[in-house]
Each structure stands twice: as structure tokens, then as C-alpha cells.
Amino acid sequence: MSWQQRIDNALTERRAADAFRQRHPVTHGAGRWLVRGEQRWLNFSSNDYLGLSQHPQIVKAWQQGAERYGTGSGGSGHVTGYSEAHQQFEQELAEWLGFPRALLFISGFAANQAVIAALMQKEDRIVADRLSHASLLEAASHSPAQLRRFVHNDSLHLANLLAKPVDGLQLTVTEGIFSMDGDSAPLAEIMTVTRAANGWLLVDDAHGIGVNGDEGRGSCADQNVKPDLLIVTFGKAFGLSGAAVLCSEETADYLLQFARHLIYSTSMPPAQAVALSAALRVIRSDEGEIRRQTLRRHIARFREGAEQLDMQLTSSNSAIEPLIIGENSRALQLAELAREAGCWLTAIRPPTVPAGTARLRVTLTAAHQNDDIDKLLEVLHAARE
């Protein structure tokens, strides 16, 4: 078989399974509206949960940061790329979340890969929720450690796996809010069984930070849990991009020595760190609380209406409200019908989700209005007939 044949065969299989992925260039892809050229749709596919991606204070902060620091960092943080703007935001983030240290990464994917690769050794074991994000499961499978997966949100199964003999150390891995189902992990139970096994707990709270808990401190704070490693990302509620690892002083120093994704990657632009500081101020403010309350009302409004539809809801109380369709072709058809009616939805299909669980991944934001939610429900009602 030639290289071309291998590629052609893989693409043919994807198309045949209605699983072929495509990108759509947009003029605006975050916020209330998705805009492409002269067309626009109500946007129910963005992770901009608080509607901060176009917040004037944050936009201005980035502009001012670029004027002061330039457009790029110029290198790895271990060389010339670690600026006072990075340091200031790390300190603000650590203080807010109650950890000794925070380390900035260029993305959540990089942060998850870096931490697991740097920490785990051959004699160790990773026990991960089976629905954890691809970045976590891929990092775990590529690490030298043994990987075991526990039944989704099943603390008893987790405890049984952790109780099995192991020569090295154990790391429990889960998300605060799961990106494809939108439900929350029972973090207090998970922490209890992990501690009983002398393990460490890693929580990726990409979809909880900024939204859940007092001042938006996230899923862990909301459940009064302090994991050994907390990973937060800024591409959702913060309205920007990037990520951070929250941890102890010693763990931070260790990662600075051994986390290759941190050592060998160009750091985020200092202007981005300035903008992140501005976003954090909004999230912690009265305005941030108003936006969280608005989002919660939208979630309740959508779920109340969606229960009348002939579609399967998950147990989500988050901004992620998947509608389980089943077949790939049907999910694609419903997404297209919704777009024709003015609502932009995305069909999520295997391998991103398990076979037979293709879905419409509805995401709600504080930027939406009540009429937007009602319009979406009307469109979904009509599309299913």
C-alpha cells in the first residue's frame, strides 16, 4: 500500500460513516451570532459561556498590552518569553483559586499532555474517567504508566481500581464538567477514594472555571475540593485562549524542569496575559455574577423546553446541553435543518463520542436572550418532525 492509498482509504471510511470533519471559515464565531459573510445565525456552538470574547474592557486590555509588549513573546518562557505580564496573571490566578502556584500554558491540550508526561513513570498507574477529554486520555495512553478507565462518574469502580496492587504511584484523572455530556463529576467522592489510596487527583475544569462556584472559581471550589493538580483553560468562560496548571510550589518547580510542552514551546504573547487579567477582573466582579445568573436562567429555560422534545437529554445542568440523536446521518440532517432555520448547531459524531451517541451539542451563553432560547426550541421541534 502506498502513502496515498492509505490516506485515501482512511478518508473514504470517514465519509462512508458520515464522520468526515470539515471546517467553516467565519467572520465571527463567538458570541450571540455566528457570522459568515453576509449571513448570520444564532450561535449555539460557541464555548464563550459568559459572552466575554468581545467584552470592550478585555479587547482594550489586549490592545494596550500589544502596544506595551508587542505582538509576541519572542521565545520560550525559559529563555526570553516569560514577562512581568505572565507573572502578574499567574499570581492573580493562584491567589483567586487558593493555590501556591500557577503555570501558564499555550493551550489546555498542551497543559494536560505536559503534566501527565512529566509526572508519570513506568511503575505508576493512571485511573481516568472513561469520558475524560481526548487530551487527557491520549496523554495517559502515551505515557509509560499503566492506564485504567473507570465507569463514568462511578466512584465505587474507581475505588476498586485504585485498590489493586501497583508498584508505583497513582493518579486519578477526571473533568469538572464533561465536554461532551455536560454533566458534573462527583469530585468530593472521587477525592475521598483517591486519598484513601494515597493517590493524587488531577481535575481538568475547562468548562467549570468562570461559571461555577463563588466568583466563578469553578467546579472544585463549588464542591469544596482541592485537587493536587487543577487545570483551567481560558478558551471558554474567559473568552480568550490558553491554560494554567494550579499546584504546589514544589510541583510547579518540578514542571518547570521536566514539562517539555512548557520548556520547548513559545509562550503566549504578554498582551494575551494582560487581557486574561482583565477577563479575570470581569469574572470576579458584580457584572460577572450577573452574567452567571443570566446563563443559569438560560440553561433552566432550555431544559424545561427541551424536555418536551422527542430527543434524549443528558443529566447536564451546565452550559453544555447535548441532545443525543444516535445515528450520524440523522444528527447531521438535524444540524443542517437547524441552520436553514437560522440556528447554528454542530453535530458531534464518533470518534469524538462513543458509537451510536451522535448528538447535537447545544451550548448556551450569557450573551443569548430569552427569545433566542425560544427560537432554538421551536426550530428543534420543527426539525424532529
Buried b (16+ CB within 10 A) or exposed e, 101-126: bbbbbbbbbbbbbbbbbbbbeeebbb
Amino acid at 366: A
Q: Are 73 and 83 in contact (CB under 8 A)?
A: yes
Model pTM above 0.85: yes
- Catalytic residue positions, numbered: 47, 133, 175, 179, 204, 207, 236
Does the N-terminal peptide bond of residue 351 adopt cis geometry, omega within 30 degrees of 0?
yes
The distance from CA 31 to its chain's CA centroid, rounded to whole angstroms, is 17
Which three three-digit cell numbers place residue 8?
485515501
Residue 258 CA, distance from chain mean position: 24
Question: Is the domain covering 25-47+286-383 a CATH 3.30.830.10 domain?
Answer: no
Contact in structure between 58 and 245 (CB atoms under 8 Å): no
Cell numbers given for 253: 518547580
β-strand partners of 129: 150
pLDDT tens per residue across span 279-323: 999 999 999 999 999 999 999 999 999 988 877 888 999 999 999
Per-residue CA distances from 281 to 55, 66, 275, 310 (Å): 12, 19, 10, 42
Q: Are 90 and 252 in contact (CB under 8 A)?
A: no
C-alpha cell at 255: 514542571
Contact 95, 88 (CB under 8 A): no
The reported pLDDT for the residue numbered 308 is: 86
DSSP string, 48-107: -TTS-TT-HHHHHHHHHHHHHH-S---SBTTTT---HHHHHHHHHHHHHHT-SEEEEES-
DSSP H helical ranges for the chain: 3-16, 56-69, 84-97, 108-119, 134-142, 155-162, 187-196, 219-222, 249-258, 260-263, 270-284, 286-306, 328-340, 370-383
Domain with CATH 3.90.1150.10 in the chain: 25-47+286-383
Q: Phi, psi (5° rounding) for residue 34?
A: -100, 125
Cα gap 340→83, rounded to integer Å? 47
What does the block give as the cell for 151? 465507569
Q: What's the pLDDT score for residue 29?
A: 85
pLDDT by residue for the chain (385 residues), tens digit each? 899 999 999 999 999 988 898 888 988 888 899 999 889 999 999 999 999 999 999 999 999 999 999 999 999 989 999 999 999 999 999 999 999 999 999 999 999 999 999 999 999 999 999 999 999 999 999 999 999 999 999 999 999 999 999 999 999 999 999 998 999 999 999 999 999 999 999 999 999 999 999 999 999 999 999 999 999 999 999 999 999 999 999 999 999 999 999 999 999 999 999 999 999 999 999 999 999 999 999 999 999 999 888 778 889 999 999 999 888 888 889 899 999 999 999 898 888 888 898 999 999 999 999 999 999 999 998 877 6
Would strands 343-344 and 101-105 be described as parallel, antiparallel, or unpaired?
A: unpaired
Phi, psi (5° rounding) for residue 344?
A: -90, 115
Distance of CA 195 to the CA centre of its chain: 25
Model pLDDT for residues 149-197, shown as the tens digit of each residue: 999 999 999 999 999 999 999 999 999 999 989 999 999 999 999 999 9
170 bridge partner residues:
125
Give yes or no for a contact between 126 and 146, defined as CB atoms under 8 angstroms apart.
yes
Edge to edge, what strands does the sheet with 125-129 contain?
101-105, 243-247, 229-233, 200-204, 170-175, 125-129, 146-150
Q: Where in the sequence of the chain do the CATH 3.40.640.10 domains occur? A: 56-284
Contact 211, 50 (CB under 8 A): yes
Please give the CATH topology (third level) of the domain spanning 56-284: Aspartate Aminotransferase; domain 2 (3.40.640)
